[in-house]
Structure 1
Amino acid sequence: MSGAHTLPNQLPPIHSFLTTRPQTTLSRLYARPSACLAVFRLLDDVARQIVMSLLWLDSKTGVDLTSWVAPNETARKHYTAAVQGLVRLHIAKDGNGRILVLPAFQAGLRRALTGGGDHRSFGVPFPIARGKDAMTTEQLDDYALERWESILHFMVTSGSAVGRVAPPSNAVIFLLRRSGLMVPIGVEKSPESRITSQGFQFLLEDSHTQLWDLLLQYLAMSENEGRDLVEVIGFLFMLGSMRLGQEYSTENLSDTQNVMLQDFLDYGLIYRRYPDDGTRFYPTRLATTLTSTSSLSFTSSKHEKAASEGFIILETNYRLYAYTENPLQVAVLNLFVTLHSRFENLVVGRVTRESIKGALANGITADQIISYLTVHAHPMMHKNSPVLPVTVQDQIRLWELENNRLKSDNGYLYEDFNSQGDFDLVLSYAKQLDVVLWENREKRKMFVREDGHENVREFIRRRAEA
């Protein structure tokens, strides 16, 4: 048994979430064969090999697999980490080195692999549509990409592009705020939002990671609302086990899962040919790849292909050329690039001090900007070492340092005191309140924070009346 490429204890986000759940919850979840198969598919190579080696054994005491491990430290670390991960997921039990697959997971995965039973945890196919009513995988991909990019576009433009791109639902906007990807502009309940530094980092991730980031927040929100977590997670795993292009019936779904079905229309995970028809639905590629370890790719979209290949050329004179017509990619660039010209498949702009300052003001960091430009650099740029011009990278970081040197605060300037004694008394009182931001005793001036202004002014008024 050899080691995998990454350490097994680096669990996928959904596995990390499951490890915090009690064993009773996971036992109920593992009663669904689709859930067992989904969890198994997301295990690393070593953990999957351990499970498959023990799945068909009925030993009550477990099996010692250490003799299968290659005699080197790296292999032993991988094996130990894989076992620990299985134990945390309540898939296996480790008794003095003897590994035993727990009955709940063993029975569920066996049923998933052999078929049979009436559990319907993999969904109930709807009769295949014919002719013009049948949906192709390309149509489903286009729909899913359009819905998903509308969410990302809203994040980037803070909703200012209404009309060109349909905005997401209020439920999606609420989840974006709850996730810390966006914050309201002004008061807490303001309908307007802006992207955060965490939100920009979110844009740097691939679609599969982005989707799970939001779904984990959805799981936490569902739990807070009192929904049955097993029903919620079970439905996600059911979607991940479905076949793209197949229409499914809703007859086996619970009330909670029907609510989720409606929610997931907003994210592009679900498509309905007839919006008012609650009896059937199509899972899109966003849904069917939930439990896949491969990266998500919409092969029918030229936008997705351009993004994966890279489309940005950045010159040493700070001029930028972006070979794209995707509104989302253009909107992202507009966060930190001054755009000058836009053609059919080309956008021309320049990285300027003002454009970087604007991005920094929104919480985006210099490293995030450089990372985005590097990740999406044109293949021609990757012939360079480093990929981006060093002068441009250094200047972006210098602009960030310059921005960090300056800090502004709202407040009030106090001056024109009658005597040094009056100034010292007021200054002493303001310091007791801890509201002094700046002082100059020689010129009898001080600057007081906005929240301390009323108290200091009232102190001066009382002294004047005394």
Structure 2
Amino acid sequence: MTSAVSSTDPAMVDHKSLYAYLSTLPSSLLENLYRHPNPSLCMAIFRDLTPMAQKFVLRQLFIEQILPKSVFTSWITPEGKKDHDDAVRLLNDLKIWSEAPSTAGLMGWKLNEHFRKGIQAIVVGGGPSWSGDDQPTAEETTPKDIPFIQNYARERWDVVLHFLAGLSGASQISRDTVEVLTNAGLIRGSNSTESGITQNGFRFLLMDTPSQVWRFILAYLHTVPKWGMDLIECISFIFQLSFSQIGKHYSTIGFSSNQLRTLQHFREYGLIYMRSKKSSRYYPTNLVVNLSAGAGLNTSAFSEGYIIVETNYRIMVYTDSPLKIAVVSYFSDMLYRFPNLALGMITRESIRRALMKGISTDEIIKFLRMHAHPQMRENNPVLPSTLTDQIKLWEMERERCVFADGVLYNNFLSQKDFEMLRNYASDLGVAMCSNAANKVVVVSPEGHDQVRAFWKRQKKE
């Protein structure tokens, strides 16, 4: 049976951690996840728990009886009460334990039996490999090395980003991928001819690669039930991949149709490499390994230093990538383009355009720091304070203005007519502003009908 998530709101798939995503799933779905024979999911969840929550799970792991709540409180100091409360809430949200009466009649905590067995298999060991069969076959007599796999992952993921950015000459992507991007709220439209990037899409392009992949995978899981695929099997398989190793190849023998279809999708995104669609071996890439760490993964391995920013707001982008130049142009005015260098300026107008696209100044500053040239990283601070302060000031300058709809009344024949209409609108409380020198009055849309009717009566009289 296929499980589904009820909401289609893109915000529902924008969680920064595994815990934040799983806590939104129904209890029945979590229970079925823990029942899955592969313990990789249980391990991924356990790794994401707080130290206090891990302690509570391990102390209950081989105890069959239910421990009273007072036993857990006796294990902590008064200073650790907040950690205790956070751990209890976390374990409750993930349905790892539940309240139950102990043999003494006191209320205690009962560890989920399926989760217990999964962690026991991890601690004791034995059984099949979490990440599948990695024995060599004749097909892989010349296996691919790690640099090749990393380059492949970067090229395939850039294809998705090129399409999202709407660059001319970008390679087309599958209809399934377009649907994932749409469900994530990154593009509008149901096909490649109608699609257009949204405000969330602009912000997505400024994120680091692990955060991009994590949010994309959450949107993928959100879309899986619409394709008739088993969500539980897909989640378990994704976390199985996250415990694999880069440079090793694994067998697809015994895979279900859901797993094989997921592999083909991930092959398009650059999460795995396969020699062909019919290949019986696959290589996990650096994009999928440790994926269960979520958006909080260390991004240093994915950051490229190619941007230099000067105190006069000039920006130099040392790259020949159209995608990187396009992303930088979201918040700067690009002036010159050379074979491996682009020059631009960060201006008040360019920052205003970025803010109108939904990009915050914090995201711009974070992007510049993340991709700062190695020479700039030797500075302290990395970015000139004059630049960061000015970007913040431009944002504050824009926030001083509040925009509201209104109806303009002008071209009065006399000062008396102007004052009469202004006073009437003020008495009604619908006058937004007025200027006696220019004889103009702005009223709110709600009061427009009353003011107009009044003015028509006065003109007849």
Q: TM-score, normalised by structure 1?
A: 0.73
Question: In 1, distance between residues paired with 2:225 and 2:374?
Answer: 44
Q: List aligned pairs for 1:179-194, cutoff 5 A.
A: 179-183=184-188, 191-194=194-197
Residue of structure 1 in register with 2:244 after alignment: 242
1:234 positional shift: 1.8
Q: What is the identity, as a one-letter code, of the residue corresponding to 2:159?
A: S
Question: In 1, distance between residues paired with 2:118 and 2:362?
Answer: 45
The reply to whether residue 35 of structure 1 matches residue 41 of structure 2 is: yes
Q: What is the identity, as a one-letter code, of the residue corresponding to 1:13?
A: S
Residue of structure 2 in register with 1:287 after alignment: 288
Q: What is the identity, as a one-letter code, of the residue corresponding to 1:315?
A: E
Q: List aligned pairs for 1:46-445, cutoff 5 A.
A: 46-61=52-67, 64-69=71-76, 71-73=77-79, 75-93=80-98, 98-115=108-125, 122-125=131-134, 127-129=136-138, 134-155=143-164, 158-159=165-166, 161-163=167-169, 165-183=170-188, 191-196=194-199, 198-223=200-225, 227-244=229-246, 245-249=248-252, 251-255=254-258, 257-275=259-277, 277=278, 279-292=280-293, 295=297, 304=302, 307=304, 310-342=305-337, 346-378=341-373, 380-381=375-376, 386-404=381-399
1:316 positional shift: 1.9
Question: In 1, distance between residues paired with 2:335 and 2:291?
Answer: 39
The higher relative CO (CA closer than 8 Å, separation ≥ 6) is in 2
Sort the Cα spacing of 1:167 and 1:410 in 2 relative to 1 into closer, same or farther, 3 A.
farther
Deviations for 1:296-316, whole angstroms, at most 9, x for unmatched residues? Answer: 6696xxxx45x2xx4433222
1:273 positional shift: 0.8
Contact 1:207 1:296 in 2 (8 A): no
Question: In 2, distance between residues paired with 1:19 and 1:388?
Answer: 38
From 8, 17, 20, the counterpart of 1:16 = 20
Sort the Cα spacing of 1:205 and 1:99 in 2 relative to 1 into closer, same or farther, 3 A.
farther
Residue of structure 1 in register with 2:8 after alignment: none
Sort the Cα spacing of 1:22 and 1:443 in 2 relative to 1 into closer, same or farther, 3 A.
closer
Q: What is the identity, as a one-letter code, of the residue corresponding to 2:149?
A: L
Sort the Cα spacing of 1:397 and 1:94 in 2 relative to 1 into closer, same or farther, 3 A.
same
Residue of structure 2 in register with 1:8 after alignment: none
Q: What is the identity, as a one-letter code, of the residue corresponding to 1:34?
A: S
Sort the Cα spacing of 1:424 and 1:26 in 2 relative to 1 into closer, same or farther, 3 A.
same
Deviations for 1:207-227, whole angstroms, at most 9, x for unmatched residues? Answer: 333222222222233346664
**Which moves more between the two structures, 378-387 or 53-62?**
378-387
Deviations for 1:314-366, whole angstroms, at most 9, x for unmatched residues? Answer: 22211223444554433321212223445565443321233223323322233
Question: In 2, distance between residues paired with 1:116 and 1:386?
Answer: 50
Deviations for 1:365-392, whole angstroms, at most 9, x for unmatched residues? Answer: 3333233223433455456555433332
1:231 positional shift: 2.2
Question: In 1, distance between residues paired with 2:424 and 2:138?
Answer: 81
Sort the Cα spacing of 1:352 and 1:262 in 2 relative to 1 into closer, same or farther, 3 A.
same
Deviations for 1:122-155, whole angstroms, at most 9, x for unmatched residues? Answer: 4345753556752223222211121223333444
Question: In 2, distance between residues paired with 1:12 and 1:412?
Answer: 44
CA RMSD of aligned residues (A): 4.6
Contact 2:405 2:444 in 1 (8 A): yes
Sort the Cα spacing of 1:151 and 1:437 in 2 relative to 1 into closer, same or farther, 3 A.
farther
Contact 1:200 1:368 in 2 (8 A): no
Contact 1:417 1:423 in 2 (8 A): no
Question: In 1, distance between residues paired with 2:73 and 2:410?
Answer: 79
Deviations for 1:64-119, whole angstroms, at most 9, x for unmatched residues? Answer: 344443x351x33223312321222122345668554321111122234445557x
Question: In 2, distance between residues paired with 1:443 and 1:222?
Answer: 61
Q: What is the identity, as a one-letter code, of the residue corresponding to 1:149?
A: D
Contact 1:126 1:249 in 2 (8 A): no
Deviations for 1:158-216, whole angstroms, at most 9, x for unmatched residues? Answer: 31x233x53544433333333233456xx9997242351x4444345433332222222
Question: In 1, distance between residues paired with 2:332 and 2:406?
Answer: 33
State the secondary structure of the residue aligned to 1:90: coil
Question: In 1, distance between residues paired with 2:29 and 2:45?
Answer: 14
Q: What is the identity, as a one-letter code, of the residue corresponding to 1:351?
A: I
State the secondary structure of the residue aligned to 1:286: coil
Question: In 2, distance between residues paired with 1:108 and 1:375?
Answer: 38
State the secondary structure of the residue aligned to 1:288: coil
1:249 positional shift: 0.8
Q: TM-score, normalised by structure 2?
A: 0.74
Question: In 2, distance between residues paired with 1:437 and 1:129?
Answer: 79
State the secondary structure of the residue aligned to 2:292: coil
Sort the Cα spacing of 1:428 and 1:136 in 2 relative to 1 into closer, same or farther, 3 A.
farther
Q: Which runs of 5+ in 2 are unaligned?
A: 1-14, 101-105
